[in-house]
């Protein structure tokens, strides 16, 4: 059994029909490369859209907007609009979003630790495919 904030989840219940699809949609969200980068940026505190776009680099305005909306929909990010001219919009992790920091950090650490080995494997695979 896993105890969440308000729910107790029977791990074996995940084998029920349809559960894989439900979990798959969550894993698709949290495993997305832009989600990982946004979560790590917001782990440092609230950021404005332009700050996120600049810091992440390589993400289009549309993709960042879609990523933030998806994270907000899933309850991982809170969007706060401050009435001013122009309006100020800040994004921050919710309590649920902060709970994602540890696994995201672990994935990032694993990727950095194995970067060279994976690059070697890719090179060997590509060479073999060329022959």
pLDDT value of residue 13: 54
The yes/no answer on whether domain 33-130 falls in CATH 1.10.10.10 is: yes
Q: How far apart are CA 88 and CA 92, in angstroms?
A: 13
Render pLDDT for 47-98 as a digit per residue (tens, 0 to 9). 999 999 999 989 999 999 999 999 999 999 999 999 998 888 999 999 999 9
Please report, rounded to a whole number, the percentage of residues in the chain having pLDDT higher than 90: 60
Res 122 pLDDT > 90: yes
CB under 8 Å, gap of 24 or more: what pairs does 104-113 form? 104/30, 104/36, 104/39, 104/40, 105/40, 105/43, 107/36, 108/36, 108/40
Assigned token pair, 43: 């782990």
Q: How confident is the prediction for the chain on average, in pLDDT?
A: 87
Q: What confidence category does residue 14 fall into, taking pLDDT thresholds of 50, 70 and 90?
A: low
What residue spans define the domains of the chain?
Answer: 33-130
Res 38 pLDDT > 70: yes
The pTM (predicted TM-score) of the whole model is 0.75
The CA–CA distances, whole Å, from 47 to 73, 75, 98, 128 equal: 18, 17, 15, 45
Closest CA to 77 of 109, 40, 106: 40
pLDDT value of residue 12: 55
**Contact (Cβ atoms closer than 8 angstroms) between residue 97 and residue 74:** no
pLDDT value of residue 19: 76
């Amino acid at each position: 059994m896993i105890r969440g904030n308000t729910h107790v989840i029977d791990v074996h219940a995940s084998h029920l029909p349809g559960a894989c699809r439900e979990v798959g949609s969550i894993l698709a969200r949290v495993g997305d490369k832009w989600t990982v980068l946004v979560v790590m940026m917001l782990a440092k505190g609230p950021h404005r859209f332009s700050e996120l776009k600049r810091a992440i680099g390589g993400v289009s305005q549309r993709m960042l907007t879609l990523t933030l909306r998806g994270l907000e929909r899933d309850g991982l990010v809170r969007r706060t609009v401050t009435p001013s001219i122009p309006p100020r919009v800040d994004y921050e992790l919710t309590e649920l979003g902060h709970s994602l920091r540890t696994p995201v950090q672990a994935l990032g650490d694993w990727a950095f630790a194995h970067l060279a080995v994976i690059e070697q494997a890719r090179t060997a695979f590509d060479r073999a495919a060329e022959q």
